[in-house]
Amino acid sequence: MARFIVRRLVGMVIVLFAVSVIVFLVFNVVPNSNPAQRLAGKNGTPQLVKSIEEEWGFDDSLPTQYVTMMKKVFTGELTSYSPTLPVDEQIAERVPATLSLSIGAAIIWLFFGLLLGYLSALKPGGWLDRVLTGVSIAGISIPAFLLAPVLIYFLTYKLEIFPSGGYVPLTEEPWEWFTHLILPWFTIAVLSIGFYSRVLRSNMLDVMNEDYVRTARAKGLSERLVMRRHVLRNSLIPIVTLFGLDFGATIAGTAIITEVLFNVNGVGSYAAEAISKYELPPIMGVTLYGAFFVVFVNALVDIAYAYLDPRVRLGASAR
Amino acid sequence: MERLAADERGPWRLALSRFLRNRVALAFLALFFLIVVFVLAAPLWADHVAHTGPNATHTLEKLQVGDETREVVTPAGLPIGPQWFEAGGKFFLGADSRLGRDEMVRLMYGGRTSLFIGIVSGLITTLLAIVLGLLAGYYRGWVDAVIARVLDVIWSLPVLLFGIALGISLAVGGLKIGPLEISGGSIWIPIFVICVFTVPYMARPLRGEVLALREKEFVEAAVAQGAGPLRIMFAEILPNLASTIIVFFALNIANNMLFEAALSFLGAGVQPPNSSWGTMITVGEQLLNTQPLLAIIPGTMILLTVLSLNIVGDGLRDALDPRSKVRLEAHAGMVEPKGTTV
């Protein structure tokens, strides 16, 4: 297990390096106008462009430029230019909102996805099964920017069940925090509920054909015990990997759009605000931190996977 | 006897007849064509019914409906609601914002942009993926190592985040590669961004198939006949990838349209004054309380287009390879995470 973890962490560091190089390429090397001009944004004054040019050393060799960029991002020197604010502090301020949104959504989609998947595997071909097939196809196609306006219009404006938009910190008013986040949570979760229930269902149908399930039945275990102890547990293992990838992708993807739609002042809204002002430094910061977070989560998931399924780590160390 | 007769038809004819029997897929194919006709009819509607362009503003104008005069935009900045055919087709869906642009005309022209970006980026992605997949799978060794590694890295990136980063970086400065120069506001910028980040989703599975096909006897036979690498790749291996490519192409367009909508919604895709369904949602969302249709209609158009492409793609897969459905179900636990998570 220790060997597996070390190998995985080394792999993670390599990917982190690759990711940071891509960010560097996107912002500093992309062949077009003067990079300082680009960083200053569409409304950058000549003085600003000149000072950025000196600060970032765009005349230096590419490796030196790369080191300068990384130093700026991780020592908190990266600032937005209108108004001048340190990017890392701005991001840190908004992380709780983004995490509340993503973690809450993840809990909801896991709970309902697994519950419905379990129920439809008990009766494959039943009505629940067929409904969920439809839901998962629709879920892949419904974009958040259709679902959210519909939910907001009917549930917030017409029926006035939920408060409109915004984010209330959990530490200030837990109940308000909860009611403000219900709609955003479901907007993210609905798409995954159908998908996860389908995956769990087909995993379970696979596992039900395994010899050890027949053995468990043969030794007289009750059907319920067979399903929960043997079938469900073994079917959950692949879900761990899937969940890790999706959770990372949610934070660095769907959450951005959902935050904007529901006015949740999180990291995604911060990025969207920067986009509307054509300001690059905040986007550089968000991209780099976001990508690092995703890579880190993926590594954690792989380690958890290896812990749950010995075949993975044995296979890896035997190589 | 009848079965035998059926089997004498070629595989493509068989696939076609299987597809034609799939009523649901056919219905959604028809829907997709309707949407294409709808957006292609944009100039006709604009010239002959609405008598205005997609970017023409009508802020201070008044609309004559029967004996009544209606303001296109109220002094408070509220745009007029849907008029349907009351004003002879003008402002059929109302005006878009305080700028007073005709929502219906914008919807049709915006749809052109969205579909154009989706289809063109789908074509480019497919071509790139075919070339990369063939090269990596055929030559193996270091060629494969380099291509596979690069694809893996791009594949592991959070697509939307990097799409935003590249999209906004290019939107500010434009793109210059040698003689090729794209200005920051061009719709080729989002096409370029989408291609860069979606190629792995198609190239990786194709590479896998090529790796497997390369071991087959017919490739050995071609080598024995003295066929060169180009002929083997494009004349021997490529035809065997056709069914995979067709299915991926349909699904890829759907995925690219969602990607474009997400980028445009956030402002990192199609730049004003151009519009797409994504940017229309951004504008419409501001008035959700009073004019909900402004955000919901473009969203619904995206849903219908993407849904029809997904269902047609699934139907094609069933028709071209009837076993694939079974295979997918059996390996659903290994299914890769959804492409663009939007």
pLDDT tens-digit profile of B116-125? 999 999 999 9
Closest CA to A286 of A147, A114, A87: A87
pLDDT at B5 over 70: no
Residue B297 has pLDDT above 90, yes or no: yes
Q: What is the pLDDT of residues A197-240, one digit of tens each?
A: 888 998 999 898 889 999 999 999 998 899 988 999 889 888 88
Tens of pLDDT, residues A157-180? 888 888 877 888 888 889 989 999
B281 phi, psi to nearest 5 deg: -65, -40
Residues of B within 8 A of A23 (CB-CB) are 165
The residue of chain B nearest to residue A26, with distances taken between CA atoms, is B166
Q: Are B266 and A257 inside 8 Å of each other by CB?
A: yes
Q: Please state, in angstroms and rounded to a whole number, the distance separating the CA atoms of residues B106 and B54.
A: 5
| % of chain A residues with pLDDT over 90 | 34
Q: What is this model's ipTM?
A: 0.89
- Six-digit token string for A172: 């200030």
Residue written as token pair 């709808």? B38
In chain A, the largest separation of any two C-alpha atoms, in whole Å, equals 81
Which pLDDT score, from 0 to 100, does residue B337 have? Answer: 36
| DSSP structure class, residue B252 | H
Q: Taking CB atoms and an 8 Å cutoff, what residues of chain B touch A137?
A: 307, 310-311, 314
At B140-162, the pLDDT tens digits run 999 999 999 899 888 888 899 99
Residue A32's pLDDT is 66
Query: Above 70 in pLDDT, residue A112?
Result: yes
Structure tokens at B232: 């083997």
pLDDT at B304 over 90: yes
For residue B143, give the nearest of B211, B198, B202 by alpha carbon.
B211
For A272, other C-beta atoms within 10 Å of its C-beta total: 22
Give the whole-number percent of chain B exceeding pLDDT 90. Answer: 62
Q: Residue B323: its pLDDT value, please?
A: 63
CB pairs under 8 A between A and B: 188
- Written as one letter, the residue type at A62 is L
The per-residue pLDDT for B4 is 53
Degrees, nearest 5: CA angle A252-A81-A22: 40
Q: Write the CB contacts of A223 (distance below 8 Å, at least 6 apart in sequence).
A: A217
Q: How far apart are the first and last CA of chain B?
A: 50
Burial class for B64, CB neighbours closer than 10 Å (0-12, 13-18, 19+) = exposed
Q: How confident is the model at residue A241 (pLDDT cuts 50, 70, 90)?
A: confident
Query: Rounded to an integer, what is the distance from CA B97 to the centroid of its chain?
Result: 27
**What's the CA gap between B174 and B168, in Å, rounded?**
9
What is the per-residue pLDDT for A308? 83
| Residue of A141, A188, A276, A279 to mutate when probing chain B, most B C-beta within 10 A | A141
Burial of B254 per CB tally in 10 Å (0-12, 13-18, 19+): buried
Chain A interface includes B166 (CB < 8 A):
yes
Q: What is the CA radius of gyration of chain A?
A: 24
Residue with tokens 């990136």: B157
| Other Cβ atoms closer than 10 A to B77 | 12
Cβ contacts of B292 on chain A, cutoff 8 Å: 149, 153, 157
A43-52, B83-92, B107-116, B285-294: which range is least confident on average? A43-52
Q: Does pLDDT of B178 surpass 80?
A: no
Position A100, amino acid: S
Q: What is the mean pLDDT of residues A88-99?
A: 92
Q: Distance between CA atoms of A155 and A176, rounded to whole angstroms?
A: 16
Inspect the interface and report whether the beta carbons of B332 and A30 lie closer than 8 Å: no
pLDDT given for residue B65 in this prediction? 83
Residues A99-114 as b/e (b if ≥16 CB within 10 A, e otherwise) read ebbbebbbebbbebbb
Q: Residue A144: list chain B partners with CB under 8 A.
A: 342
> Which single residue is written with the structure tokens 């890896």?
A316
Q: Which residues of B touch A272 (CB under 8 A)?
A: 266-267
Residues B171 and B183: their CA atoms lie apart, in Å, by 8
Q: Does A37 touch chain B (CB under 8 A)?
A: yes
CA distance B107 to B117: 15
Domains and CATH numbers, chain A: 101-268 (1.10.3720.10)
Q: How far is B168 from chain A (nearest CA, A)?
A: 7
Q: State the pTM of this model.
A: 0.90
Q: Can you read off the two tokens belonging to residue B6?
A: 């059926």
Question: To 10 degrees, what angle do helices A2-24 and A310-318 make?
Answer: 80
Alpha helical stretches, state H, A75-222: 87-122, 127-141, 144-151, 174-207, 211-218
Closest Cα in chain A to B251: A141
Position A111 pLDDT exceeds 80: yes
Q: Which residue has the tokens 């636990």?
A: B333
How high is the mean pLDDT of chain A?
A: 87
What confidence score (pLDDT) does residue B329 get?
A: 38
CB nearest to A206's CB, from B299, B330, B342: B330
pLDDT interval class at B229 (50, 70, 90): very high
Is there a contact between A141 and B303 if contact means CB atoms under 8 Å apart?
yes
pLDDT beyond 70 at B165:
yes
Contact of A31 with chain B, judged by CB distance below 8 Å, is answered with: yes
Q: Which residues pair with B181 in a beta bridge?
A: B176
Lowest-confidence region among A123-132, B50-59, B198-207, B290-299: A123-132
Cα separation of B302 and B305, whole Å?
A: 5
At residue B324, the pLDDT reads 58
Strands (E), chain B: 62-65, 68-71, 175-177, 180-182
Distance set, CA B284 to CA A71, A119, B107, B278 (Å): 41, 40, 11, 10
Residue B85: C-alpha distances to residues B35, B81, B337 (Å): 21, 12, 46
Choose between B330 and B235: higher pLDDT.
B235
Query: Residue A22's pLDDT band (boundaries 50, 70, 90)?
Result: very high
Average pLDDT value for chain B: 87
Amino acid at B185: G
Percent helix, strand, coil in chain A (nearest 5)? Answer: 80, 0, 20
Largest CA distance in chain B: 84
Is residue A139 scored above 80 in pLDDT? no
Is residue B1 predicted with pLDDT exceeding 60? no
Mean pLDDT of A105-134: 88
| pLDDT at residue number B334 | 33
More confident position, A53 or B331: A53
Tokens of A295: 């890579």
pLDDT in tens, B311-324: 899 899 888 876 65
Chain-chain contact of A275 with B303 (C-beta, under 8 angstroms): no
The whole-angstrom separation of Cα A18 and Cα B238 is 32
Asked if B303 lies within 8 A of A260 by C-beta distance, the reply is: no
Closest CA to A193 of A131, A151, A149, A238: A131
pLDDT of residue B331: 35
Query: Does B158 reach chain A within 8 Å, measured CB to CB?
Result: yes
Query: Can you list the positions of beta strands (E) in B39-140?
Result: 62-65, 68-71
Residue B3: pLDDT band by 50, 70, 90 thresholds?
low
Are B120 and B194 in contact by the 8 Å Cβ rule? The answer is: no
